[in-house]
Amino acid sequence: MEASVVEARASRAAALGLGLLLLAAALIAVILLSMATGARAIPVDMVWSALTAFDPNSTEHRIVWDLRLPRTLVGVLVGLALGLSGAVLQGATRNPLADPSILGINSGAALFVVLGVSVFGITQLGFYVWLAFIGAGVAMLVVYSVASLGREGATPIKLALAGAAMTAIMLAVINAILLTSPRTLDEVRFWQVGSLAGRSMDIALQVSPFIAIGAALALMSARLLDGLSMGDDVARALGQRIGLSRALAGLAAVILAGAAVAAAGPIAFVGLTIPHVARAITGPGYRWILPYSMLMAPILLLGADIIGRVIAPPGEVQVGIVTAFIGAPFFIALVRRRKLAAL
């Protein structure tokens, strides 16, 4: 019996490992498609030629290197960050509706960036990153504190309600600032809706160290998230320090969400939808949910960006709008399913 159980586990691990390889291959394909798609279509073989044998005299090669490669790299980094942060938050809070946008983290990061632009005239991305980190951390702390009020503590429903309320308040403040400050509106109008357009290689280089640190913390917390997702009592029985575990997970989520918002603006629903898809494939173990989310989220984000480039030529629809159209129906279906399950 034990031998068959071990064999079944090994077979499942091998299948999930193969799934990761297939997702990596799919991500590479989407990356190439992203660099081939735009107002000027470039064949994939030309994209590959630009990457492997760059010719500075070729217009197509320069488009790939100067415009589409930086945009695609930022998309990969932001997608990775959003997917991991959503998975970490869902495990740490035991809330299937947890997501950097729904819990107010993205809005907090965006509010501090907008305040930095409007009050202090900050326009450098390096300052955006730190402002986004501070805003994300403050928002998460406030939401968790509000949700913790009362005898039940921070239940999943209270976290979602507190996050929704704080998001509404912060978005109202952001809109008030943008309506009264044309200079700020000009500076952040495309960034505010969530966009990969016009992103340079400097942005990818500046946010990549923070995303690497956040990703490492998230992946290291897999065992802790397995315990937290089963409830505080079970986690304590397993020897976990609940406060420290949640602090580590929260730090990872803040770093990832803050870097993602600084690079591309507040993009919603990617961190909500992808962990659920990953969980449906892998089961409840975060040792697999996290790497699956890390690969699937960039595929979704780049796919949405590609759709946004082709549905309204010669212009484009910003990626944050496309992900909202994709994610909103999923969110509604998820809420309805949980409501029916509770009846």
Please state the pTM of the whole predicted model. 0.89
Q: Is domain 74-342 in CATH 1.10.1380.10, yes or no? A: no
C-alpha to C-alpha distance for 199 and 203, rounded to whole angstroms: 7
The domains of the chain are located at 74-342
Burial classification of residue 334, based on how many CB atoms lie within 10 Å of its CB (0-12 exposed, 13-18 middle, 19 or more buried):
middle
C-alpha to C-alpha distance for 336 and 341, rounded to whole angstroms: 9
The phi and psi torsions of 229 (rounded to 5 degrees) equal: -65, -20
pLDDT one-digit tens code per residue, 194-221? 888 888 888 899 899 999 999 999 999 9
Q: What is the pLDDT of residue 190?
A: 66
Q: What is the pLDDT averaged over residues 156-178?
A: 86
Q: What is the pLDDT of residue 210?
A: 92
User: Tell me, what DSSP letter sits at residue 102?
Assistant: T
Q: What is the pLDDT of residue 5?
A: 67
Mean pLDDT over each residue of the chain, to the nearest integer: 85
Q: What is the pLDDT averaged over residues 177-193?
A: 79
Q: What is the pLDDT averaged over residues 178-188?
A: 81
C-alpha to C-alpha distance for 20 and 211, rounded to whole angstroms: 20
Q: What is the pLDDT of residue 336?
A: 66
Q: Which of 30, 92, 77, 70 is nearest to 261 (CA)?
A: 77
pLDDT one-digit tens code per residue, 37-94? 887 888 988 999 988 888 888 889 999 999 899 999 999 999 999 999 999 999 888 8
Q: What is the pLDDT averaged over residues 99-112?
A: 87
Q: Take residue 127 and report the two structure tokens written for it.
A: 């300052």
